[in-house]
Amino acid sequence: RREEKFGCLSGRRSSLCVLALCLSVASPPCSARIYTNHWAVRIAGGADVAERIADKYGYRNMGQIGDLKDHYHFFHSRTIKRSTLSSHGRHSFISMEPKVEWIQQQVVKRRIKRDYKADPYPAQNNIFYNDAKWSSMWYIHCNDDVHNCQSDMNILGAWKRGYTGKDVVVTILDDGIERNHPDLFQNYDPQASFDVNGNDMDPMPRYDATNENKHGTRCAGEVAAAANNSHCIVGIAYNAKIGGVRMLDGDVTDMVEAKSLSLQPQHIDIYSASWGPDDDGKTVDGPASLARQAFENGIRMGRKGRGSIFVWASGNGGRSRDHCSCDGYTNSIYTISISSTAESGRKPWYLEECSSTLTTTYSSGENYDRKIITTDLRHRCTDSHTGTSASAPMAAAIVALALEANPLLSWRDVQHIIVKTSRAGHLSAPDWKTNAAGYNVSHLYGFGLMDAEAMVKEAERWKQVPTQHVCVESADRQIRTIRPEHVVRSVYKATGCTDNPNHHVIYLEHVVVRITITHPRRGDLSINLTSPSGTKSQLLANRLFDHSMEGFKNWEFMTTHCWGEKAAGDWVLEIYDSPSQLRSQKVPGKLKEWSLVTYGTSLHPYSSLRSEKPRSTDEEFTEEYNGESGVPNMDRLAILAHIAK
């Protein structure tokens, strides 16, 4: 992943600024910014007006930014390519043009791929499919006689029902994909591909001696490697179309991200991203204005209004005690945040815990745990794909199976189906709990391990959930002092916007806390939120390496742990200050303000109402979802017989 730096904006008739966003908590110190010779410009009046203005001020118009209307990519060849100072000169007077509504000089953002280096494991003998590595794909056929894993993701069950990803398009946002790989060329989709770094249509990776740009090709193989071609592996959605966007092999800016996230939203169904801000335990960062707009446009208009599906790796910062709530990509309601578990069901050492994680797939773990087998650069295969980088494309492929079963699913339908069908199974976590709507949930694994067969069965009979309502509760602006070794507790009585039918939320989906805090050492803070039903979400844990004095400014923490619960009632915010080292007592922290935003529906999302129930006992955590609501646990043949009736 690479670290993001927000550019400074200038509106109509105002000059380019350097300091406007320097105070943003989500940005690094201004001295660390690297300004490029690329600009994002919003111009009213169409492409001809943009071309005229670009020419007038010495810019080259590189075209519209992705699918963002009236937003253009301008390039200035006489400006220094990379500079620690923002650019000034005659060309900067472009902001005075009446048709120029907004302009932003692009700054470099640090983005890190979410894998890690490890030694490969030897392959095993070939069985079932004739693909060379099939027998080593433990995460697909883990319940056969050859393997020892305790629970699988029921991918074979989805295949047996005829779902292999046909007519679904998945694009990997990464460092490119090797489109002529023997396992990828059959399903490669040029319409779902682009080279943002090189500004051309070919996403082929740049080759070097270290094979640095292998990441995207590895992710692509997990999704859509061809089946029964005697080469390498079988993709989980092996009949899906696969595309790639080369966007990580160069300077990553807000504009680069926006172009990638908004590529062909009427053609691409699923975007898979296995990267993000630094997992160093001290960064707080997220999408800037253009990328945020790309997310919102995709959700509102992608897939003919049903919404683009954005799948995101939750992060590999476990060793740095990072917390994925400080990552604005995985912390977004628009992304499906994917965690990892080892084949043993134990927590991988790199796993980040947070309340925004929705679900989990398999990946690598300790040295004795097997890794993920997939396609690799130079027409090869690898059995050492790792981290949450491997988990996200696996999840994207399972979602592709569900979309084949029901192409009419909205982006929220997909999240609901994941919540309903993911299962705790054998996943080991100390914090499994059952919320008031009856869902098992954990900060490590979200709602549990994905179940492909259960998802396609739900998708087959799914009825679209009611319209999403958004209730923005009024902000609590009472300033409270945060003292070391003390707890600040604030209770907010939420109404769920009962007085506004268009915003009334009764049944919850996502809950967001917007918060502003000043503090001498941000890493000493931890934050909890307790719902009216008593479900506690840890919004933030202590971060040992976060020495920042910037605090949080309107940062959004998100939780999925209250899914299905009632919105109205007392919400309790608790902030703990636990100093990890000696610090001055003269400048205590302060909670400046916080507000609650609830997302959900005023009608029950499912036809058969799910009554709230008390918290479960420990015995309930091992029960696996069998794909049929109201049907007791049975073997699969019995379930199929039940369906046939």
Question: Hey, which residues are catalytic here?
Answer: 174, 215, 389
Using an 8 Å Cβ cutoff, are 384 and 362 in contact? no
Task: Measure the CA–CA gap between 278 and 258, rounded to whole angstroms.
Answer: 19
Q: Which of 244, 618, 307, 560 is nearest to 422 (CA)?
A: 560
Q: What's the gap between Cα 5 and its chain centre?
A: 19
Give the number of other CB atoms < 10 A from CB of residue 410. Answer: 18
Task: Measure the CA–CA gap between 618 and 620, rounded to whole angstroms.
Answer: 5
The residues, any chain, with a CB within 8 Å of residue 532's CB and separated by 6 or more, are 494, 565, 566, 567, 568, 569, 570, 571
Both tokens assigned to 37: 């010779």
Q: What's the gap between Cα 520 and its chain centre?
A: 30
The residues, any chain, with a CB within 8 Å of residue 484's CB and separated by 6 or more, are 524, 577, 578, 579, 583, 585, 588
b/e map 430-454, b = 16+ CB within 10 Å: eebbbbbbbbbbbbbbbbbbbbbbb
Task: Measure the CA–CA gap between 341 and 390, rounded to whole angstroms.
Answer: 11
Task: Measure the CA–CA gap between 626 and 607, rounded to whole angstroms.
Answer: 19
Which contacts of 260-263 are long-range, i.e. CB under 8 A and separated by 24 or more positions? 260/66, 260/173, 260/194, 260/196, 261/66, 261/173, 261/291, 261/294, 261/295, 261/298, 261/310, 262/65, 262/66, 262/67, 262/68, 262/294, 262/297, 262/298, 263/66, 263/67, 263/171, 263/192, 263/194
Task: Measure the CA–CA gap between 243 and 231, rounded to whole angstroms.
Answer: 20
Both tokens assigned to 489: 């507790």
Both tokens assigned to 383: 């059995």
Task: Measure the CA–CA gap between 555 and 544, rounded to whole angstroms.
Answer: 20
Give the number of other CB atoms < 10 A from CB of residue 470. Answer: 15
The amino acid at residue 112 is I
Task: Measure the CA–CA gap between 579 and 524, rounded to whole angstroms.
Answer: 5
Report the helix count and the strand count for the chain, using DSSP H and E: 9, 29
Give the bridge partners for 359, in sequence order. Answer: 338
- Give, as one character, the DSSP assignment of residue 493: E
Mutual orientation of helices 411-421 and 387-405 as an angle, nearest 10°? 110
